[in-house]
Structure 1
Amino acid sequence: MKRILLLLLVLISSVFDAQINLNIGSTNVGSAPVSSFFSYSYVQQIYLKQEINTNAAGNITGLTFYLDPTATITDSSNWTLYLGHTSKSTFTSSTDWIPASQLTQVFAGNVTKNNGKVEVVLTTPFPYNNTDNLVIAAKESAPSIDINNFDEVFRVYPYLPNSTLYYKGDREVIDPASPPGGLRADYKSAITISGLIPNTTPGCPIVLYPANNAQYISLSPNISWQAVSGASSYKVSLGTGTGGTDIINQQVVSTNNLNLSPSIVLNRDTTYYLKVTAVSANGESAGCTENTFKTIPPIPVNDVCTGALVASTFPYSYVQSDAMSSTNNGGFILACANDGMNDGLWFKMIGDGGQYSIKVAPSTLSFDPKIGVFLGTCSNLTCVGTRDNGGGGTAETLVIPTISGTEYFINVGSYEDNVDMPEDVFTITITKL
């Protein structure tokens, strides 16, 4: 009898242990797994393998979603659920749906809310391979909406940008084989996945910044990562070689913080190796991969006026790929009254009495370039003219008349006249008109 009772207790314990809980305490709401505020919706969500963190492949037998306990979903209860495997980690566009042919229908019918939960027992268990990421898709087909205190009532938690892709509307039921363009969200459903046994140790954090293999990272980066369910703290290591800890050595960070900056300024043009792990009472996440990133290049040779690059043959064109490493030197260029600018990158040319067009085209939306043209010497500049008509990412063009034999200095910097802002990659083209 004792053996039978012990066996039953073990079996019961294993049943309750066979579930993955992901942020089920969240109080945020969103349009996943379905929209309660529109008649029809179709939603796809990607759960990463390392986030699921199961100890082995297995059958998913049920899904539980969470919602505001006071909410009603009477008119948002006709669900069809699909599961599938995917190598994607995020959706790349509003039409980047995972094809219906790669999904398996696991449930169709009406769902009900009970104690702030919608528990769905899958009519077709889904064999999760524990190799790929998991996609959960849901179609809601009830022709009406629920009126609640919130437009949407299902609990979600913040995650990687574009983790969810959804469409919601009032005109017609969405066909998963040909869904219209939707909207992407940086959240996912708080969820319980039944049938899978969780690892005893937490999963590996996803590093948000710097991204793996990122280039042109600042010398004082704010390293950040995604929160991990079950983590009680995190450990961060950073070094100049694989597995290195010479910059940051297994520094413990509390769960109140999901970021850390090195205590020293990093070296320019250097590759660094970063690892972040999660820690719990049961141990530390294992098998976490390193991210590598490279810092900004050396200070450009034309960072100061005296090092200006010479434009002697026209049309002249130059790609300033190291612009983000420029400094503001002695301050702002204030030669043009009431029209200052950052001290950026410098060029010079000799006038011939004709007109010249100076065009600066930035390569990033974040860089708002300004052109300044000056006479005189680097220590005593006289204003010829400036141009900053557009915003970030907009090309600027300035046309100037020249005096034969006169030297002109050209500064390409950020438009601000009292805030030191970094420059970024741009192409300068000087053409004789």
Structure 2
Amino acid sequence: MKRILLLSLLLAVLSVKAQININIGSTNVGTAPVSSFFSYSYVQQIYLKQEINANAAGNITGLTFYVDPSATISDSSNWTVYLGHTNKTAFASGTDWIASPQLTQVFAGTVTKNNGKVEVVFTTPFAYNNIDNLVVAAKENAPSIDINNFDEAFRVYPYIPNSTLYYKGDNAVVDPASPPGGIRADYKSSITISGLTVNSTPGCPFVLYPSNNAQFISLSPNISWQPVIGATSYKISLGTTPGGTEVINQQVVNATNFNLSPSIVLNRDTNYYLKVTAVSANGESSGCANNIFKTIPPIPANDACSGALQATTFPYTYVQSDGMSSTNNAGFVTACPNDGMNDGLWFRFTGDGGQFTIKASPATITFDPKIGIYSGTCNNLVCVGTQDNGGGGSSETKTITTTAGTEYYINVGSYEDSVDKPEDVFTITITKL
């Protein structure tokens, strides 16, 4: 009898410990796992494997969500809950829903708030593989809303951009097989996952910047990562081979970022392998993968006026794919009175007395180009005209009437006349009219 009692107590203790708490102390509220402020909602959230940090695969037997103490959810309590596996780390757009065939319904019914919690117990456990990330989806089906001080009732915490995708409205219950376009959020539900046991050592940090496989990274980037629950410090290693440490070797950092500038300058056009681990009183995270990134290309051949690329046949088209590596050389181009600009990338052509149109088309919305056109020589530029009508991502077009035999220099640079800003990918087209 005593053995049976002891075994029962042991199983009870183990069942209590078999849970993982993720940021359950947060005081922020948001639209997750459902919306309490709209009649109907459908929400998907991605919890990364390293954030869950389970010690093994196992059966998830339930979820607990946390509610603002002053909030009510009586009119937002008809839920259907789904779980699934995904290799996504974030939602790419407002329609990037994880398809319903990838999800398993684990609960349908009425939930209640009890001591600031909503506990959802599954009828059938969900087998989590501890390989993929976990998607938690919930649909709220009641036609009424709850009026609360902060509109939404449930506790959330900030995480990587676009961790959550939600739709909320008052028209109809959402069909998870064909949900409407939603809104992405940079937060997730504070949550307890029952049935899994957390690792004794901290999980691997999720590197925010540079992201894995990122291109065109600056030579002194500010490395940053998501904080890890329980971590007291972090270690950074950086090298030019997988697992390499010749640039940074297990540098201890007490924050969630590390700026290489000014002590470390990376090489151009080089692949680097970055590893960040978390350290706690119980040890260091293990099995953390390298993030690979590539630095900006070499300085372009046409970075200076003296290296201007010459257009001889028209229409002339050139894609400047390495524009982000341009420098501002000796300073700003000030040949045009009260209308200076960054010293960007240079082109030239010889006039024939006719009209020519110069067009610069940026590839990204972050680059706001300006066109400067000059005659004379690189050491003595004479203003012909400039063009800067649009904003970031907008093309600029300038038409000039040329003089036969005169050499014209074109500068495509960032529009600022007193702040050095990087150029980016663009296409220049020179057309003879």
Please report the TM-score for the alignment, with normalisation by the length of structure 2. Answer: 0.96
Identity %: 77
Q: Which moved more, 1:17-26 or 1:224-233?
A: 224-233
Greater shift, 14-23 or 224-233, is seen at: 224-233
User: What is the aligned partner in structure 1 of residue 18 from structure 2?
Assistant: 18
Paired residue for 1:142?
Answer: 142
Q: What is the aligned partner in structure 2 of residue 336 from structure 1?
A: 336
**Secondary structure of 1:341's aligned partner:** coil
Q: Matches of 1:183 and 1:143 in 2, distance apart?
A: 21
Q: Which moved more, 1:17-26 or 1:88-97?
A: 88-97
Higher mean Cα deviation, 409-418 or 310-319?
Answer: 310-319
Secondary structure of 1:12 counterpart: helix
In the alignment, does 2:132 pair up with 1:124?
Answer: no
Structure 2 residue identity aligned to 1:169: G
1:384-421: CA deviation from partner (whole Å, max 9, x where unpaired): 00001111111111101100011111111000001100
User: Is 1:246 paired with 2:238?
Assistant: no
1:200-279 correspondence to structure 2 within 5 Å: 200-254=200-254, 257-262=255-260, 263-279=263-279
**1:7 to partner: Cα distance:** 4.1
1:31 corresponds to 2:24:
no
Structure 1 partner of 2:319: 319
Shift, 1:271, TM fit: 1.6
Q: Output aligned runs, 1:91-240, within 5 Å.
A: 91-240=91-240
User: What letter is aligned with 2:278?
Assistant: A
Give the structure 1 partner of residue 423 of structure 2.
Answer: 423
Deviation at 1:381, TM superposition (A): 1.1
1:177 Cα deviation (Å)?
Answer: 2.2
- More displaced stretch, 221-230 vs 408-417: 221-230
Equivalent position SS for 1:333: coil
Which of 232-241 and 193-202 deviates more?
232-241
Q: Once structures 1 and 2 are overlaid, which stretch shifts more, 311-320 or 191-200?
A: 311-320
Residues 48-67 of structure 1: pairs in structure 2 closer than 5 A: 48-67=48-67
Stretch of structure 1 that moved more, 192-201 or 104-113:
104-113
Query: 1:174 is matched by which residue type in structure 2?
Result: V
Q: State the shift of 1:230 in Å.
A: 2.1
1:16 match: secondary structure:
helix
* Cα shift readout 1:159-184 (whole Å, capped 9, x = no counterpart): 22222111101111112222211111
Deviations, residues 353-398 of structure 1 (Å, cap 9, x unaligned): 0000111111111111100001111111111000011111111111
Give the SS at the match of 2:273. Answer: strand
Q: Distance in 2 between matches of 1:37 and 1:63?
A: 22
Distance 1:344 1:73 in 2: 57
Amino acid of the structure 2 residue aligned with 1:378: C
| Worse-matched range after superposition: 403-412 or 113-122 | 113-122
1:275-290 aligned at under 5 Å gives the runs: 275-290=275-290
What's the counterpart of residue 393 of structure 1?
Answer: 393
Q: 1:431: how far off?
A: 0.9
In structure 2, C-alpha distance between the alignment counterparts of 1:178 and 1:148, rounded to whole Å: 30
Q: Structure 1 residue 101: deviation in Å? A: 2.5
CA drift at 1:294: 1.3
Aligned-partner SS, 1:80: strand
Measure how far apart 1:4 and its partner are: 5.8
After superposition, the C-alpha distances for 1:107-131 in whole angstroms (9 at most, x for unaligned) are: 1111111121111111222111222
Deviations 1:179-219 (A, max 9, x none): 21111112111100000111111111111111112111101
Partner of 1:366: 366
Letter in 2 for 1:356: F
Helix, strand or coil: the match of 1:126? strand
> SS of the residue aligned with 2:13?
helix
- Which position in structure 2 is the counterpart of 1:407? 407
Moved more, 367-376 or 305-314: 305-314
Q: Structure 2: where are the runs of 5+ without partners?
A: none
Gaps of 5+ in 1: none
Range with bigger deviation, 126-135 or 58-67: 126-135
Which residue of structure 1 lines up, in the alignment, with residue 382 of structure 2? 382
What is the distance in 1 between the residues matched to 2:146 and 2:219? 51
In 2, the alpha carbon distance for the partners of 1:89 and 1:420 equals 34
1:308-334 Cα offsets, whole Å, 9 max, x none, are 111111111111111111111111111
How far apart in 2 are the matches of 1:421 and 1:92?
28
Letter in 1 for 2:409: F
Q: Cα distance, 1:2 vs. partner?
A: 7.3
Aligned CA-pair RMSD: 1.5
Please list the CA deviations of residues 241-265 of structure 1 after superposition, one character each: whole Å capped at 9, or x if unmatched: 22222222211222xx211112311
TM-score, structure 1 normalization: 0.96
In 1, the alpha carbon distance for the partners of 2:142 and 2:65 equals: 18
Q: Which amino acid aligns with 2:327?
A: T
Counterpart CA distance in 2 for 1:84 and 1:269 is 39
Residues 10, 210 of structure 1: alpha-carbon distance in 2 compared, 3 angstrom cutoff: same
